[in-house]
């Protein structure tokens, strides 16, 4: 499980078991839960999240890497990188 904040502290993204992503756009006052899935990959547990100049990055089991400018929609950028 992991959590990260945007530079302004308003957006918060938390990730955890079962491909769950929980998002807050108001510094944690309210939360929206989402489930990440892709036909071409089994996402599994999400273990890390970070925010940087190019948006959000999430890492997970089985080498899964996800990227997003808006944490309500994710793009699969890595699958099976690690054994």
Place of tokens 């510094």: 27
**Percent of the residues in the chain that have a pLDDT greater than 70, as a whole number:** 96
Predicted local confidence at residue 41, as pLDDT: 80
For residue 43, give both structure tokens. Answer: 């996402």
Determine if the pTM surpasses 0.85. yes
Question: Minimal CA–CA distance to 77: which of 61, 53, 68?
Answer: 68
Q: Which residues of 37-56 are buried (b: 16+ CB within 10 A; e: fewer)?
A: eeeebebeebeebebeeeeb
pLDDT (tens digit, 9 = 90+) per residue, 1-39?
899 999 999 999 999 988 899 999 999 999 999 888 887
For residue 62, give both structure tokens. Answer: 């089985």
Predicted local confidence at residue 48, as pLDDT: 96
- Burial bucket for residue 81 (CB in 10 Å: 0-12, 13-18, 19+): exposed
């Amino acid at each position: 499980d992991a959590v990260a904040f945007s530079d302004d502290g308003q957006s918060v993204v938390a990730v955890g078991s079962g491909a769950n992503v929980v998002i807050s756009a108001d510094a944690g006052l309210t939360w929206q839960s989402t489930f990440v899935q892709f036909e071409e990959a089994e996402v599994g547990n999400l273990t890390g999240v970070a925010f940087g100049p190019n948006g959000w990055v999430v890492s997970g089991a089985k080498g899964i890497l996800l990227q997003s400018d808006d944490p309500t929609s994710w793009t699969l950028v890595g699958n099976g990188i690690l054994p």
